[in-house]
Amino acid sequence: MRMTAAVMYEQGLPTPYAGSKPFIIEDVDLEGPGEGEVLVEVTAAGLCHSDLSQVAGLRKRKLPVVGGHEGAGIVREVGRGVTRMKPGDHVVMTVATGCGHCRPCTDIRPALCEGVSESRSQGALPNGMIRLSRGGKPVYHYSGVSSFAQYAVTIPNTLIKIDPAIPLDIAAMFGCAVVTGAGAVLNTARVRPGQNVAAFGLGGVGLNAVMASRISGASEIIGIDINEGKFALAKELGCTHTFLATDPDLVAKAKDLTRGGVDFSFEISGSKPAMTSAYAITRKGGEVVCVGLGATGEMYQYPHTSLVAEEKAIRGSLMGGGVADRDIPLLLRLFQDGKMPVDRLKSSTMGFEELNVSLDKLDGGSVVRQILLPHG
């Protein structure tokens, strides 16, 4: 089939993106679904900081590529052998899934799946196939999803069936922002009632970490960002205190507030200065949970003596460190019960023609989650 999609031909173009236009909106060909594949009509796709880092070239991708890794839509066709999905099903599209049989998958860590990681690095679907093309030449899939398009072919493992009563423009955020931020708290850190936490970066992922911390019963929930305009929403969603990341007294204030430091610092931005501050405000025996990705190969520093002497821990959390089939339905129920008002994170919707401008808004830090509506 022929459809409209946002295609990136070059990484590292200069800002403002409204002028350099990293995403070209054009028609591409979509083949399939083949055996074991599903055709989804994409109704909504979230614009994430991970998309921004790909545009900036911090992590290389096979090009040209149709962007987008967070989305929601409606199943329109299934290939031979597919039994988990049927036409008409509403689904969340996510990269937080695995093959089910490699060692990380059998250890119940599907986000670390070896087979899927390899296929995605090659711009293919998790099953190794490429279903996108233009002019007879391949166009690659972004993280096995490519939700910046009117339709997508993928495999059932990347789709989570959901209640059709949930608005799809809200459901789209559960594919990455919600499962990543909330999962870091619920799965990776396993925050307990009475513990103190800090979230560095109050975008879509960070604010989901805040909401999950509140649900977990955290005592002090400190939100930290370079943009003070995000503080009002952060307090509505669960922050007990907010500080500017640039405040020279940030560390002293946070340690005084928490009587020596937080139990968990969630570093969401991937920023080196933020990582330094996150480590500094973590108490003895506490953990720094690194959620944000920096550039490939970039090295970060930490004071090794205090790591040992204070028994601190630094650990990563990829896509919430959980199981999408289990976690996304749970988090959706929390949303439906009013305990996780994820709809408050939606800053605006956009069409394809606004996508590059929306990258500038995200880069400037003035928005939380912008939602692309591929069909207008």
Q: Which domains does the chain have, with CATH numbers?
A: 2-175+341-372 (3.90.180.10), 181-318 (3.40.50.720)
Q: What is the pLDDT of residues 269-325, one digit of tens each?
A: 999 999 999 999 999 999 999 999 888 889 999 999 999 999 999 999 999 999 999
Q: List, in order, residues 6 or more apart from 256 with CB less than 8 Å away.
A: none
Report the DSSP beta bridge partners of residue 290.
267, 316
What are the 10-residue block averages of pLDDT along the chain, 376 residues in total? 98 97 98 96 95 90 96 98 97 88 90 84 92 97 95 96 98 97 98 98 97 98 96 98 97 97 96 96 98 90 94 96 94 98 97 97 92 96
Contact at 8 Å (CB) between 206 and 266? yes
The residue behind tokens 């929930």 is 221
Q: Buried b vs exposed e over 101-123: b needs ≥16 C-beta within 10 Å?
A: ebebbeeebbbbbebbbebbeeb
pLDDT, position 272: 94
d(CA 309, CA 70): 41
